[in-house]
Chains A and B, each alone.
Chain A
Amino acid sequence: SYELTQPPSVSVSPGQTASITCSGDKLGSKFASWYHQRPGQSPVLVIYQDNRRPSGIPERFSGSNSGNTATLTIRGTQTLDEADYYCQAWDSDTAHVVFGGGTKLTVL
């Protein structure tokens, strides 16, 4: 089965740039999406089709996807960005939606 791997945690200082990676076999040939989830809340889509932002998502969120790695980048990180972040892709070979294990972003 297809797997996506994320680091369990990433720390960043307020105002700095946070990068969260997501690795999977030939992930660059698929579309990657990203969600954030604050404690006790539902997931929110922040990036789709590798680098597109849904309406209402700040411009400081961006994404890229190439080779085996997709990356979510948050510029000018704010304390309100502290959350769990999940990457996600569609594996057409198995007809399965796949989520990464999640990365806890700490802003301190």
Chain B
Amino acid sequence: EVQLEESGGGLVQPGGSLRLSCAASGFPFSSYEMTWVRQGPGKGLEWISYISSGGDATYYADSVKGRFTISRDNAEKSLYLQMHSLRAEDTAVYYCARDFHAGAMYFDLWGRGTLVTVSS
């Protein structure tokens, strides 16, 4: 089955760190560009970060640049998001998503999301 499954969310204190993972299955992960999108409680979708299929190119939203790092392990078919200096406004459901095709920048496969709560 073609799917993405996020993990690693949880409760973290302000200023803390967390690493999210996204496990891919059912498709050639190494051929696809990937992205992270988050959705705060009751809010809309917010793009966070993108990584090329080989991992050599990455982009970040201004709201997380310098605090979050996207990476991938194609051998493990996994995508990661390392988050540092977390703030209350980072509280959200975090989705990983697959780019439709190389350079498309629209996303045809989404995981179910993992909830990150930043609170003391």
Contacts and interface: CB of A to CB of B under 8 A. Distances in A.
B27 interface: no
Interface in A28-65: 31, 33, 35, 37, 42-45, 48-49, 54
Given A33-B106, A48-B100, A48-B106, A42 B45 contact: no
B100 A99 contact: no
Given A99-B37, A102-B45, 14 more contacts: A31-B105, A33-B107, A42-B110, A45-B100, A45-B107, A48-B100, A48-B108, A54-B100, A88-B106, A96-B61, A96-B62, A97-B37, A97-B47, A99-B47
A8 B57 CA distance: 34
B75 interface: no
B104 A48 contact: yes
Interface of B: 35, 37, 44-47, 50, 59, 61-62, 95, 97, 100, 104-108, 110-113
Interface of A: 1, 31, 33, 35, 37, 42-45, 48-49, 54, 84, 86, 88, 90, 95-102
Nearest to A95: B59
B62 A1 contact: yes
